[in-house]
Structure 1
Amino acid sequence: MTTFEQVFGQAPEVSASAPGRVNLLGEHTDYQGGFVLPTAIPQRATVGLRRNGTDTHVLYSANLDRTLHVPVGEVGEDFAPYLTGCLNLSGVTEGLNVHVTSEVPSGGLSSSAALEVATLRALRELYGLDLDNVALALRGVQVEHEFVGVQCGVMDQLASSLADTRTMLLIDTRSLERRAVPFPAGAEVLVMDSGVPRRLAESGYNERRAQVEAAAELLGVPQLRDVTDIAAVETLPSPLRERARHVVSENTRVLAGLEADAATFGQLMNATHASLRDDYEVSHPQVDELVALLQAQADVFGARITGAGFGGAVVALVREGTAVAVGEAVVVQYGTLGKVVVP
């Protein structure tokens, strides 16, 4: 890919990167104060910055081989809002040359959060911003809300800012308390791209968030995190009943997974996929096909769609040492759309 020096004729003043993430359990709970269990993936987004002495930001995406020119203080279009949102919220008043490259596939692996966190890390270094890693992640969430138009929760940016590839990160998205959790013994993670594209702002993501907020209001609780008896959701009208059932049961699955062995953890993942498919309705027929192929493999403990849904990636927990072989076998069965992302 084209480097910063090739595009701008000089080296960047600062450069920073951040990883994508895959979520093992705890999907669509983070905007209801719930529990999540992501881990970082090896693929990263990298952002280089250099002041250009003008009143215009020059934004270059090496992946797209595309350059955008956005006046300081404005937002721009295409991929610009992910970057200009970070610049504007950080008080940047001078033009910057910005070079972006990313190894994180789009669709379920938090490519946008990785881009935001990498940009904010670079800005923190360039301007000496007083942002710890949690505050930095929360600024990334603000970018999504105010500039991108996705009313996301806090998981993706927190995972990109705080998680590593060696453990899972349990996050209480209400208190922001977190702790590292080991992977189940004898298991490893396989991530595959279904080849089905999706864009959150054009999907039902914001609609789902509005539905669970309405469900919480009808149940008289601040958030569905506060529902302790899942039977309570059965009093709700459809589809609020199904949406709330997913969130409440998913929180239970995350907590059950903390001490689970690999087989039990895999069963929880399978149950999450069924809940996302049937109650939350954020899956896709081709994604369901890929998940079913993975679940049928002898060395797979469990598999599910990951991320916000409507396409994108799937994650499987597999017997240690078998991820490459399982992924290659399933790609053959699934066809040309699928590909192994991790390992």
Structure 2
Amino acid sequence: MGFQEVFGALPEASARAPGRVNLLGEHTDYQEGYVLPTPIPYFTQVEAGRAEGRVEAYSETLGELRARPLASPAQGDFLDYLLGVVWALREAGHPVPGARFYVRSQVPLGAGLSSSAALEVAALKALRALYRLPLSDLEVALLAQRAEVAYVGVRCGIMDQMAASLGEVGQALFLDTRTLEHENLPLPQGTRVAVLDLGLSRRLAEGGYNQRRQEAEEAARRLGVRSLREVADLCLVESLPSPLDRRARHIVSENLRVLRGVEALRKGDAGGFGALMTQSHRSLAQDYEVSLPELDALVEAALEAGALGAKLTGAGFGGAVVALVAEALWEDFQRTLRDRFPGLRLL
């Protein structure tokens, strides 16, 4: 099956974008903080063709063909993301009359690997080529975020879309989400990033993500700051009522971990970087309360199997674990974890 079989014509443009894991900087991006994601070598490929007044799309993964007029509201399916990017382009003044899409993806759905951002960015880059739109990769990321927030209804930060549009596989993208300054930094030599997926899917729009975001906003308001990015002293958060004190403590300490992680990457300090990843998971589990017992067990098992560090990746409430593993231990690491978790998928 391909574009021509579904739509009866050849595609006119094509683009792809990667999934991502977040090494450090979880739940900081919507508080103008620092993040450190890395793209993974698993991509969403989008082929596109012209259409008038509607968006049609076939998902190879789901085996579904869907179509709706441009003015349609979100309906809770995969087409929302594609209608959303067309909507965002039209809102920004770009003359996009509609589109047809054929989507194939290697990025697991619902695993916290940014399958939605990969789809949005790939679709936007395909539309950029199809309609010859004057868009930079940074503008693509911003439009993708707008589509997800304003059309799909998930109040995400900018990290996922920036990683999908500007990141490079094998490097970490150090991003200041306030200024959008960014830098790609090489991962430590002799290590590899492992993604451990137990299939614990979750739906961001229906889970606790929006609640955590509201709690962070309330904590910032009570502290009298625009965002928790402006808080550098952890003692200040102790004045907040529960659970706002814990939520703010995670975000403030996580920003510090990202900055220390960047220093570790610049020095090639794999052990130091891994320790920061593990500290991040403890904070996500205890202070931000977005982990699950299954994720905690998987993190501990990864550490016992020799990982330099491990943490949940993505918003939590399900999803996957990311681990930093020495290349020399990779085969033993895989074998140990597969023996303990027979249904585990390693990426």
Task: Output the TM-score relative to the length of structure 2.
Answer: 0.94
Residue number in structure 1 paired with 2:42: 43
Q: Is the 8 A contact 2:28 2:34 kept in 1?
A: yes
Tell me what 2:28 maps to.
Answer: 29
Aligned position for 2:16: 17
Larger deviation, residues 227-236 vs 91-100: 91-100
What SS is found at the alignment partner of 1:199? coil
Report the equivalent of 2:287: 279
Structure 1 residues 9-37: Cα deviation after superposition (integer angstroms, max 9, x where no partner): 22101111111111111110001111111
Q: 1:331: Cα distance to partner?
A: 2.1
Distance apart, 1:194 and its partner CA: 2.2
User: How far has the Cα of 1:335 moved from its partner?
Assistant: 2.8
Q: Is residue 316 of structure 2 the alignment partner of residue 315 of structure 1?
A: no
Match of 2:175 in 1: 171
CA distance in 2, matches of 1:121, 1:51: 14
The answer as to whether partners of 2:305 and 2:336 remain within 8 angstroms in 1 is: no
1:70 maps to amino acid: R
2:108 to 82, 105, 109: 105
TM superposition shift of 1:181: 1.5
| Cα distance between partner residues in 2 of 1:76 and 1:195 | 26
Partner of residue 259, structure 1: 263
Q: What is the aligned partner in structure 2 of residue 243 from structure 1?
A: 247
How far is the alpha carbon of 1:324 from its aligned partner? 4.5
1:213 is matched with which residue? 217
5+ residue gaps, structure 2, are none
Percent identity for Structure 1 against Structure 2: 50
Aligned length: 337
1:75 Cα deviation after fit: 3.6
1:150 to 150, 154, 166: 154
Q: Which runs of structure 2 are paired with 1:318-337 in the superposition (5 Å)?
A: 318-336=325-343
Within 5 A, what are the aligned runs for 1:30-109?
Answer: 30-52=29-51, 54-77=52-75, 78-91=77-90, 94-106=97-109, 107-109=111-113
Asked whether 1:125 is paired with 2:129, we answer: yes
Q: Secondary structure at the match of 1:12?
A: coil
Equivalent in the alignment of 1:303: 310
Deviations 1:279-332 (A, max 9, x none): 00111111111111101113x111010011111111001112433441332022
- Give the conservation status (yes or no) of the 8 Å contact 2:45–2:122: yes
* SS in structure 1 at match of 2:108: coil
How much has 1:108 moved relative to structure 2?
A: 1.1
Alignment of 1:193-208 (within 5 A): 193-208=197-212
In structure 2, the residue corresponding to 1:192 is in which secondary structure? strand
Deviations 1:192-228 (A, max 9, x none): 1121110100110011011001001101111101001
Bigger CA drift: 315-324 or 228-237? 315-324
Amino acid of the residue matched to residue 41 of structure 2?
P
SS at match of 1:117: helix
Task: Tell whether the 8 Å contact from 1:81 to 1:147 is kept in structure 2 after alignment.
Answer: yes
The one-letter code sitting in structure 1 at the alignment partner of 2:222 is L
**C-alpha separation between the residues in 2 aligned to 1:270 and 1:194?**
19
Contact 2:44 2:122 in 1 (8 A): yes
C-alpha distance in structure 2 between counterparts of 1:212 and 1:302, whole Å: 26
CA RMSD of aligned residues (A): 1.4
Distance 1:118 1:271 in 2: 33
Output the amino acid matched with 2:36. Answer: L
Counterpart CA distance in 2 for 1:229 and 1:94 is 51
**Are the counterparts in 2 of residues 60 and 98 from structure 1 also a CA contact under 8 Å?**
yes
The DSSP-based 3-state class of the residue aligned with 2:84 is helix
Cα distance in 2, alignment partners of residues 199 and 76 from structure 1? 15
Segments of structure 1 that go 5 or more residues without pairing to the other structure are none
* Alpha-carbon separation, structure 1, partners of 2:215 and 2:320: 24
Aligned letter for 2:335? E
- 1:254-282 Cα offsets, whole Å, 9 max, x none, are 11112221111111111100100010011
Could you tell me the TM-score, scaled by structure 1's length? 0.95
Do the aligned partners of 1:20 and 1:43 also contact (CA within 8 Å) in 2?
yes
Query: C-alpha separation between the residues in 2 aligned to 1:95 and 1:156?
Result: 25
Contact 1:192 1:327 in 2 (8 A): no
